[in-house]
A and B are shown apart, each in its own frame.
Chain A
Amino acid sequence: MSFWNDPINFLADWLNGVLTGWGLPAGWATVLVYLVGITVLVVFAMVLDIGLVWVERKVVARFQDRLGPNRLGPFGLIQPFADIIKMVIKEDITPAGADKVLYNIAPVLSAASVIMLWAILPLAANIYGVDLNVGLLYVVAMGALGTLAVIMAGWASNNKYALLGAFRMVANMVAYEIPMVIVLLIPTILAGTMSVIGITEAQRDIWFALLSPLGLIIFMISAIAELGRSPFDLNEAESEIVAGFHIEYTGMKFGWFYAGELLHAFTFGGFAAILFFGGYAGFFGLEKLPAFAWLNLPLVQAFFFILKAMLGYWVIMWVKYSMPRIRIDHMLAFNWKFLVPLSLILLAATAILHKILVVLPTWQYALGMFVANIVIITATIEILRSYGRRQRLAEQRLSPQPVEN
């Protein structure tokens, strides 16, 4: 074992050796090594977060035909640091009549729920926090914590706009968690495990995005809704309830909501990469060839993982800055009358096909799964089209178009 093959365990063993050499009991040495490792990982996530502020502002500027931050440092790279200094030295205003305890806990909880996701995020085959065997359920649980933070912030602010934002967040979460959980079952079925490492390793030969493209689409839609980003940003809705749940927050407390949202979006890009694009692995078996053995180096894997996560994050930004906000009744109807039945049908089809096809060679299995997904997508579009046609005809019958001249 050398540093290049297994950097984290190499350093951890070395540190453990040093600590036990000083006469520390083995249990306490483990706790200390864990604490050091966690701190390094969280600090890495925070530094990445600062970078994401810059990326987000640059990308939104490009979408809106602007330049974005370009004054501080090369390409405006120092801008996020200036933003942080500004936020820290701003006055922190607590509105009169706010529930002070909940008001102060909410931003911390919002950031913590995102940071907690990094505990199971595998950057490479042996660079990860912990490999839980209930990984996917952990993701769902942490997502619910983030929602709870939004509800707390909206409730505690003693502001009607904030309260409206919190209500809408409840409706939003209550709706889109169902297709999310159902779609998380599909990688579970395909890989036969809930551990994120296991799911990544199962995709070494073929990505789950090819086995279940529809699952990927539903996952991305419900992830965007779970993040509360446009077109599902009803909890913020600048043009109607100003800033929704974080309307009364100033300074660094607002900063944590903002930073938390960006890191959350990136992390969900990462989970899309893990669940459907092979995460750190997934080079279609290329790494088995001797010429491409370097693809197995942890730092190379981490590079590809960050790249895939950035692409997922970019898609989330792309959707955010090109779609208008949808109305709450449309949003709920879209979920309950479209996404939930569709994801249940997809789950049933995936389960039965997996059971039948799993004995076949990989390429036949993959082809069967892919064709089944395409059939479901085509059937869905046809049903929607015929429904739309019937609606249009019914409307015409009720109110015939006036004949022109």
Chain B
Amino acid sequence: MQNEWLYVGLFLIIGIVVPIVPLLIARFISPRKPNPIKQSTYECGIETVGDTWVQFKAQYYIFALVFLVFDVETVFLFPWALSLNLLPLFAVLEGLLFIGILVVGLVYAWRKGMLEWV
């Protein structure tokens, strides 16, 4: 058990080092002649106006909220699905009830018009 996660940890190190190596090589052998025009923001030839990091559409936030509820709740279903063979039928039905509560939440968001992109 401990060795498995040691392996994953070592994999993380190698997985980060391998992409860095070509970037380092490129840093040493590629030309480097920056100038203001080259470094300006690309916008199809038009000069950029104003700040980039502006306020964004609130709709993204609402979808993120709906997602959060679902994502957390589906994670709770994993232990139930794993031990399905050991559970009595009653516990299986209880899991289905949990899915039913999820569906009710989805129907509520739907009826409230939260799933419309406006």
Contact = CB atoms under 8 A, between A and B. Distances in A.
Interface of A: 30-31, 34-35, 38-39, 42, 46, 84, 87-97, 104, 107-108, 111-112, 115-116, 118-119, 129-132, 136-137, 155, 158-161, 163, 167, 170-171, 174-175, 177-178, 181-182, 185, 188-189, 192-194, 242, 247-248, 251-253, 255-256, 328-329, 332-333, 336-337, 340-341, 344, 347-348, 351-352, 354-355, 358
A88 B99 CA distance: 51
A95 B6 contact: no
Contacts of B40: 95-96
Contacts of A89: 26, 29-31
B96 A352 contact: yes
Nearest to A84: B22
Contacts of A92: 26-27, 30, 32
Interface of B: 3-4, 6-8, 10-12, 14-16, 18-20, 22-23, 25-27, 29-34, 36, 38-44, 48, 52-53, 56-57, 60, 63-64, 66-67, 70-71, 74-75, 77-78, 81-82, 84-85, 89, 92-93, 95-96, 99, 102-103, 106, 109-110, 115-117
A116 B12 contact: yes
B38 A93 contact: yes
Given A111-B19, A130-B8, A341 B103 contact: yes
Contact of A174 (B53, B67, B102, B117): B67
A107 B20 CA distance: 9
Contact of A185 (B29, B64, B78): B78
Given A130-B8, A159-B42, A185-B74, 16 more contacts: A38-B7, A94-B34, A108-B20, A111-B18, A111-B19, A119-B15, A132-B8, A155-B53, A178-B70, A178-B74, A189-B84, A253-B23, A333-B115, A337-B110, A344-B102, A347-B77
Nearest to A117: B15
Nearest to A108: B19
Instruction: Label chain B's interface by main secondary structure.
Output: helix
Given A34-B10, A39-B14, A351-B81, A252 B23 contact: yes
Contacts of B48: 159-160
Contacts of A159: 41-43, 48, 52
A115 B34 contact: no
A34 B19 contact: no
Contacts of B27: 92
Counting chain A CB atoms within 10 Å of each CB, the highest count among B19, B64, B93 belongs to: B19
Of all A-B residue pairs in the complex, the 8 with the closest CB atoms, nearest first, are: A329-B117, A111-B19, A115-B15, A174-B67, A96-B39, A252-B26, A119-B11, A112-B15
A352 B34 CA distance: 64
Nearest to A358: B85
A332 B10 contact: no
A94 B36 CA distance: 11
A116 B7 CA distance: 11
A167 B18 contact: no
Contacts of B18: 42, 46, 111-112, 115
Nearest to A177: B71
Contacts of B3: 30
Given A112-B12, A182-B74, A158 B82 contact: no
A111 B12 CA distance: 11
B93 to A, nearest CB: 8
